[in-house]
Amino acid sequence: MSLDPDFGVSLSPGEFQERLLTLHKQLFASTEFSFDDVTTHMLSPPPGLSLWDHSIIHDGQDFHLYHGMGDNRLQPEWSRRFRAGDWEGAGALGFATCIGRAVGPTLLDLKRVASLDLPSQGQFDVALRDHGALFRYKGRYGLLYDVRGGRDGKVFLGMSLSWSDDLEHWEQGDRNPVLTAPSWGDPAGMCKDPHVMEVDGVYLIYTQVMDRDGYCAVALTTTTDWMSFGDEGCVLRSAPMLRGTLGIESACVVRRDGMWHLFFTYGPGMWQAVSPSPRRFTWSREQLWHYGGGFYYMGPFHATEVVHHDGQWWLTTTRKEEIRRLNRVAGRLCFRGTYEDEKSLEEGLFLSRIRWEGDQPILEKP
C-alpha cells in the first residue's frame, strides 16, 4: 500500500508552524537532562546477563515488558563468527536467542517471568532471534522481532512474526521472515529495532536501516493484514556518529494532540523530532516556515521507549550512554562493542516520568 500524503495529518500548516516556533523558542536556550536527576531504577536482568531494547504493552490489568537479553561477554566472538559467515556457529554461542520478559501492575513493580525462547526456523534466523515490538491485531497479540543469519550464501538481516492469545504462549508465523531492508537500504547494513503503532486500521512499522549511501535512516513500512507490506520511504536520515551509538537506534513514534513525535537513540544519547505527519521528520526551509525542521538532544539516554497509559507518560532507558559520558569525562577508553563498553547494560532499565509543557517533554524522577 501507499499512504495518502495527508494520512495522519490533523494540524493545518499554520497551526503546526505556530507550535513548532513555540517549541523552538522553548528549546533554543535549554540544556539536556541529567540522567540521575530524572530516573529511577525499574528492572534488572538475570545475573550475568544484559538487557537492551524492549517493548511494553498493557493487557488491561498488567504491563508486559519484552526485552533483548544476552551475555555481552560473548558478543565479540559472536560478531567474529557472524562476519565470517559462520551463522550456525554464531547462534550456537547463545548470545541472543531468547527474549526476556517481565510483568507487573505498574512499571515500578515489574517481576521477571520465564523468557520467550523462539526456536530457529531456518538459516535466516539461526544466528540471532532478538527483541521486537509488541502490538494488537484482531484480538490477538503480535511480536515483530529481529532475526539474523544467512540466505543464499549472504548475510540476512530482517524480522519475523510471532502470535499469541495471552502474552504467554507464542506461535511463530509460517511466512517468516516477513521484513527485510527496503530497496533503497543496504541489505547488509542494518535492519532492526522495529516500532509498531496502529492508526485508523493501518499499522505503521518504523525500523532502523542504513541506506546505500551509508547514512543511518528510519524507514517506514505499512500493512493492514500483516501479509503484504508497503515501503513508505525514509522518515529521517543522518550520517553515522563516531562518538556513542554509531547509528540511529530505538526509534519510537507517538502522536499527541495532533503532533507526531519521533524519539531515537543516536550518538551520545536520545534525540527528538516533531512533525505534522508520520511520514517524515525533516523539512527544508522552503517547505516549513523559515528554518525547516530538525531534531534536538534530550540527554544521555539509550534504548528508550516512550509509554502512554491511563493519561500518564513515561520514558524507559538504560544507563549505557550515561556510563559512556562518565567514561569520557574520566578519560577511560572503552571502545564500542567491548564488554567494558557494554557491561552497563547489566544494570537493566530505568524509568522517568514525562510532564509535557506544550510539545516539549519534561523528564522528572518518578
Specify the pLDDT at position 287: 62
What is the rounded distance in angstroms from the CA atom of residue 113 to the CA atom of residue 104?
10
Cross-strand pairs, 263? 252, 272
Give bridge partners of residue 129 from the DSSP assignment: 147
Of 83, 81, 114, which Cα lies nearest the Cα of 95? 81
Instruction: Say yes or no to pLDDT of 70 above 80.
Output: yes
Q: How far is CA 40 from CA 163, 301, 312, 317, 321, in A?
A: 32, 13, 16, 10, 16
Q: What are 239-268's pLDDT values in tens digits?
A: 999 999 999 999 999 999 999 999 999 999
Picking from 126, 102, 128, 125, the residue whose alpha carbon sits closest to that of residue 115 is 102
289 vs 308 pLDDT, higher one: 308
Question: How far, in Å, are 78, 86, 157 from residue 89 at the CA level?
Answer: 8, 5, 17
Helices (H), 29-67: 35-38
Classify 345 as helix, strand or coil.
helix
Summarised one tens digit per residue, pLDDT across range 330-358 is: 999 999 888 999 999 999 999 999 999 99
Indicate the pairing of strand 230-238 with strand 63-70: unpaired
pLDDT reading at 289 higher than 60? no
Percent of the chain residues topping a pLDDT of 70: 97
From 185, 183, 173, 113, select the one nearest 147 (Cα to Cα). 173
Grid cell 517493548 in the structure block, residue: 55
| Average of per-residue pLDDT across 134-156 | 96
pLDDT band at 293 (very low <50, low <70, confident <90, very high): confident
What's the pLDDT at 281? 92
Q: Which three cell numbers stand for residue 273?
A: 523530532
Each residue of 10-19: pLDDT tens digit? Answer: 999 889 989 9
Contact between residue 265 and residue 300 where contact means Cβ atoms under 8 Å apart: no
Residue 119 pLDDT class (50, 70, 90 cuts): very high
User: What residues have CB less than 8 Å from 296, skipping those under 6 apart?
Assistant: 27, 271, 272, 273
| Least confident window among 100-109, 177-186, 286-295 | 286-295
Query: What are the backbone angles phi and psi of residue 83, rounded to the nearest 5°?
Result: -65, -30
The CB density around residue 192, as the number of other CB atoms within 10 Å, is 24
Among 38, 60, 130, residue whose Cα is nearest residue 90: 130
Q: What is the mean pLDDT of residues 136-158?
A: 96
- Judged against a pLDDT cut of 70, whether residue 288 lies above it is answered with no
pLDDT exceeds 60 at position 22: yes
Task: Output 135-139 pairs: Cβ under 8 A, ≥24 positions apart.
Answer: 135/57, 135/196, 135/197, 135/198, 135/203, 136/57, 136/198, 137/198, 137/203, 137/226
Partners of 302 in beta bridges: 318
Q: Mean of the pLDDT values across residues 173-186?
A: 96
pLDDT band at 283 (very low <50, low <70, confident <90, very high): confident
Q: Please state which CATH number belongs to domain 13-364.
A: 2.115.10.20
Residue 286 is predicted with a pLDDT of 65
Average pLDDT, integer, range 314-338: 95
Domain boundaries along the sequence of the chain: 13-364
Q: In which band, very low, low, confident or very high, does the pLDDT at 190 lie, cut at 50, 70 and 90?
A: confident
pLDDT of residue 282: 83
User: How far, CA to CA in Å, does 134 sit from each of 117, 275, 300, 364?
Assistant: 16, 24, 25, 26
Residue 1 has pLDDT above 70, yes or no: no
Q: Are 181 and 191 in contact (CB under 8 A)?
A: yes
Give the DSSP H or E segment for 19. Answer: helix 13-28
Question: What is the pLDDT averaged over residues 206-227?
Answer: 96
Joined together, the cell numbers standing for residue 330 give 574520566
pLDDT digits 0-9 by tens, 50-62: 999 999 999 999 9
- Beta carbons of 343 and 70 less than 8 angstroms apart: no
pLDDT of 28 over the 70 cut: yes
Q: Is the pLDDT score of 292 beyond 80? A: no
Q: Is 340 helix (H, G, I), strand (E, B) or coil?
A: helix
**Mean predicted confidence (pLDDT) in 139-160:** 96
The single residue listed with the C-alpha cell 508520520 is 278
Residue among 303, 354, 266 at smallest CA distance from 54: 303
* DSSP-based three-state secondary structure for 22: helix
Q: How many Å apart are CA 305 and CA 58, to the nearest integer? A: 14
pLDDT on residue 337:
84
User: For residue 156, which of 116, 131, 122, 193 has the smallest C-alpha distance?
Assistant: 122
Q: Return the SS3 of 145.
A: strand
